[in-house]
Amino acid sequence: MRLLLDTHIALWAIAADPRLPPEAQHLIEDRGNAVFVSAASVWEITLKHALARGLPSDMPISGPEALAYFRTSGYDLLPVTADHAAAVAALPPLHRDPFDRLIVAQALHEPLRLVTRDVHVKAYSNCILLVQ
């Protein structure tokens, strides 16, 4: 299976965070699956880290650090193409986060199975895997 990790899933996976659902961990560790992380996730991490204000909810790592961890983990990096950006126009307004909308568009366009814990993202397609 070809998987695209939502940003939070990718971060929890590289940090061995206990919030990573066991189902997601199993999917990521299954050598039969190809695991992708979007350039949009790296961009999101970079922006949120730069906006840090010292709050517990701040992004704990920078974009370059995350990118290095993703590469070390063996994840494939999915670039954002013009086709991906244009595919966002076909999505219904179920979610307002532009990063999530772009990642959904990428998953549907490629196609890839998007792994997320976000129920709003899951509403876009049955091809999206909601892990709890």
Give the whole-angstrom CA distance, residue 59 versus residue 47. 9
Residue among 94, 120, 122, 92 at smallest CA distance from 107: 122
Helix (H) / strand (E) element for 36: namely strand 34-38
Whether the pTM exceeds 0.85: the reply is yes
Mean pLDDT of the region 46-57: 83
* Banded model confidence at residue 59, pLDDT cuts 50, 70, 90: confident
- Hey, what domains does the chain have and what are their CATH numbers? 2-130 (3.40.50.1010)
Residue reference for tokens 């568009």: 105
Residue 94: CB partners within 8 Å, gap ≥ 6? 120, 123, 124
- Provide the terminal-to-terminal Cα distance of the chain, rounded to the nearest Å: 19
Q: 58: pLDDT confidence band, cut at 50, 70 and 90?
A: confident
Section 57-76 average pLDDT = 93
